[in-house]
């Protein structure tokens, strides 16, 4: 029984190594991981905004952007 377990371990380990080699050669996999990392950062930032502004994230940000544009428009007015 010990010998059969060793054979199964070696066979499984070899298959795992083959899978690792294929993943490392495949650049699409690494690009997918990069996009997954970017998505994770976006989710964390969104969660932080919700925590800072409460449930009114869109309203607060919209008002801030509106204030910036109003300030720019006031500076551009020729009186």
pLDDT in tens, 3-52: 776 777 777 778 878 777 776 676 666 777 788 888 889 888 888 877 77
**pTM, whole model, 2 decimals?**
0.39
pLDDT score recorded for residue 30:
72
How many structural domains comprise the chain?
Answer: 1
Structural domain harbouring 57: 2-76
- Tell me the DSSP string of 51-75: HHHTT-HHHHHHHHHHHHHHHHHHH
48: Cβ contacts below 8 Å, ≥ 6 apart: none
C-alpha distance across the termini of the chain, in Å: 94
């Amino acid at each position: 029984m010990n010998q059969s377990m060793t054979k199964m371990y070696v066979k499984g380990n070899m298959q795992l190594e083959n899978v690792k080699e294929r993943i490392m050669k495949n650049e699409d996999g690494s690009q997918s991981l990069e996009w997954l990392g970017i998505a994770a950062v976006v989710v964390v930032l969104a969660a932080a905004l919700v925590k800072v502004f409460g449930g009114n994230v869109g309203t607060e940000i919209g008002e801030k952007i509106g204030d910036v544009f109003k300030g720019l428009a006031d500076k551009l007015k020729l009186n």
